[in-house]
Structure formats: structure tokens, C-alpha cells
Amino acid sequence: MRKSSKDCRADRASVNSRIQAKADEAIKAPPVMSFSAQMPAYTYTSLCSDPKLRKRPGAKPEHPEGMQPATTEMICLICRKHWPSDCKRTTCDCESKGHLFSTGVYYQRKKGGGVVDT
């Protein structure tokens, strides 16, 4: 069954009112607290209006092995017992001898690479 023009207008009006309600809600929302919204334009460049923010802050010292470990541990997949990551075990001491699975995150910093002229 085909919609009448009156129904089409009513549908379009309801869609427009929903869009307008979302726009009103966005206007009343608190300001964005992201880095780019809080900092001046061209931060960490020579064009920045604040002289203190023209240079990039110093880099964090790197981990000696190149990887920065976060809290990591091993967990038994059967009994869910937690083990330290440096225990050198592959199975748990539970009666099922469950496999130990490493959990946690390692953050590896990306090394700056470039084109090497040969």
C-alpha cells in the first residue's frame, strides 16, 4: 500500500524534529575537553602563539629492552589461578594441569624509520 502525501509529510516532519532535537542537545552539551580543543592552534610548532608551547616536551626514557611491560601475569585456563609472568611455568599445578596463558599488555614504542640511501 502506498503512503499518501499527508503521511509522507508527517514522517518528514518527525524526522526533522528528531534532527533538531539532537542539534539542540549538542548545543547545550558541555564543551569538549580534548587536547586540540584546550590547546592553542599550532601547538608544538614555531607558529604557536604561546612561546612556552613551541617546543615539544621531552620524550620519556625508553625501557632497556625496547618494550615497556605493563602489569602482566599468567592465568590457568582451567582453574583461573593467577601466576607471575616470570615463573617459567607452562602448566598449572591444579589437578587438570591447565595451560598457563599470558595476560596483560606490552607497549612497544615505534622506532622512527626512514629511507636509507644506498
Secondary structure (H, E, C), the chain = CCCCHHHHHHHHHHHHHHHHHHHHHHHHCCCCCCHHHHCCCCCCCCCCCCHHHCCCCCCCCCCCCCEEECCCEEEECCCCCEEECCCCCCECCCCCCCEEEEECCEEECCCCCCCCCC
Q: For position 4, what pLDDT does the model report? A: 84
Report which of residues 77 and 13 the model is more confident about. 13
When the pLDDT of each residue in the chain is averaged and rounded to a whole number, the result is 79
Is the pLDDT at 59 greater than 80? The verdict is: no
How much of the chain, in percent, has pLDDT values that exceed 90? 9
Cα 108 from Cα 100, distance rounded (Å): 23
Mean pLDDT of 113-117: 53
Is the pLDDT at 32 greater than 90? The verdict is: no
